[in-house]
Structure 1
Amino acid sequence: MLSRRWVVPVLAAVVGIVLGLLYGWVISPVRWVDGTPAQLREDLRVDYMRMAIDSYAVNRDAELALARYEYLGDFGPAALAAVGADPAAVDPTAIQRYRAAIEILGPEAGTDEATPATGSRRPLTSLIVPLCSATLILGVFLAAAVFLRRRVRRREPRPRIEEEEAWDVGAETPVPFASTEPAAREPLATFRTIYTLGDDLYDDSFSIETPTGDFVGECGVGIGDTIGVGEPKKVSAFEVWLFDKNDIQTVTKVLMSRYAFSDETTRSRLMAKGDPVQAESGGVVYLETASLEVEARIVDMTYGEGALPPGSYFERMTIELRAWPRGGAAQPA
């Protein structure tokens, strides 16, 4: 099951890749400009040398002949030797004269051991593969480092989160709607999630792992329903869910505001998402699957005030989630 918190980043990455390909290949494709004969294929470099020899046979411009020879950089001697071995339509005498002119102006230019002409540049295409390979290797190392770091962090024991006092002095006295007896043993994991009015994309999820780091499931809290119109959203219900990799079904409980729970139509509609429960500060609900149990405890909650009916939407909600293997938590009789 793909974690809900990864949906937006994955979609953003896919859209970014598609837009990048569209821009790079359709809107503004790469065009090579200011290339040199040294960047040509071998057969085209030989053809270029033949044309340079033919041109010199006509204009007798030795400096221009040398410049055209130097445009080939390190490939000049090989191209000249290839033309000598296969003149094609080039006059052999013209080849000898061209070679003589090159040797006079550049004594070492006409031999295979000639040093590169001053200012000759290595073709850009020869650097692409090494640069891409280095970037790929660096990316693999970085990804491996991040992965190992996360694995180490996940295997570190999580400190238990102590119960906080209600942040709102005027909050009602907690009224539990399920037993809050202590667990029979230490939970696999403890998480805390906080919603505040204005967090319209609120959707927290947490991975549940064994002490050895094996993934066994996932739990989380998200917006279940809203009331009214406009922004920010007025959240009237939260979905508390539990996913078990050994179970085919995700279990969900719907924590509803006092007003939403008292409305028969709203309660019936939200029953399609999960078991409806009226949220009370200090209350606890349990979610159970084939091999996992999760206790969701409302540490703190406050209703919003405004034009909407009292107790209809939440200003703030803090929920603590504790996960055990099946049979590890003490539940009400």
Structure 2
Amino acid sequence: MNGLTTNRHWLTLLTVFIAGLLVGLFVLGWGLFPVKWTNANLRDLREGALNNYLSAVADSFAANGDLGLAQTRLNEWKPDEAGVLLDRLAARYQAENRGRQAQTVQALVAAIRAAPAAAPTKQVTPTASPAQGSIESNSSLITLLVLLLGVAIIGAGLGLLAWWIVSRRRPTPVLEANLPPEEPLPVMDMRPATPLAYDAVDETDDDFTDDFVDDAGEEIGAYPQAAPAANAATGYRPAPPPPGSDIPIPPTAAPSPPAARSEPQPAGSILVPGKKLAEFEATYHRGDTDYDEAFVVEGDAGAGYRGECGMGIAAALDRESTQATALEVWLFDKSDIRTVTTVLASQYAQQTPALQARLADKGDNLLAALNQVFTIEAKTLILEGEITDFAYHVGDGVEPNSVFERVAIHLTVYAVEA
């Protein structure tokens, strides 16, 4: 609905993506499904395992004297490289006072250096060529890269899923600039007209008026005695006395106000609030720059999702400030194409033309006040809001009645029945 809310959605999306990537890399890649190495080359062995292998080859040579078999078992190294490794192992055994094992290794070194380069072997064992070792090394690297790529894809999928969920929680408002203005329904005034008061007609016989009598003896033109004018709820004022008379003018009583009467509903309206669906409490506190509350409206058992409602920041005090000077309460009906909004503006926002221009296209504009009651109507839902707690912020050099300190609104959602 505003820039603060959009920034919050992007921040949420980025946070969920990074969290998904870390979970996929460390928890899945290293914890639950770690990489397992099999059929590693002798060159890839760590030092302790390599020394054990060389010592086992030396012990085998000392037992059977088969130099060809020993050379086959050391064919991943050149004779000079194998001699260096064996000399290093013999020196280590000497330092550790393991003389017998040192002599065994030295005997194997001497035999390898004294033997010709291509010594016959009793047992032919297929060995891996350098190209094959390179292929195996590349295969291991490819496997690791594929695993990392899979973890990245899983993290991206989790991030997209979170973005989809967040976008569903706040429906995109539909621009109403091209929609024709709604004309109010005609209202028929059914109130009874105010009764008129008539002066009493004196039908008594006097010197100035004679009653007419018909053949049956009934008077013609006689009017019934009317109620005294003083008892009628009208603005009747008695005639003033003639000039020069000493008769005082009696005081005139103020007319009593007409009795209160309820306004009739529009004759063409057929939508009336029906069953109460949900009640929510939305509260804003100053300093919450990303304030945006949304609530899901559920129908009766089995009816499922009906829509959403909520409250967010409609406008800040200025472009550099993050303090709210106007809030917006909105209602989304899944069967409608619009998100209907009512703006609750501060007294400062109501009196500032620039802020009024910014809030003009957001919806109905009301002055926020304690116990203020308003309604928002959609196609099948009606939202009734009541401000239950309200206060302006005082201090910090801001204009009086311009920044909300806190605003609490009780939201009630009704179903609309035809």
Task: Output the TM-score relative to the length of structure 2.
Answer: 0.40
**Structure with larger Rg:** 2
Task: Output the TM-score relative to the length of structure 1.
Answer: 0.49
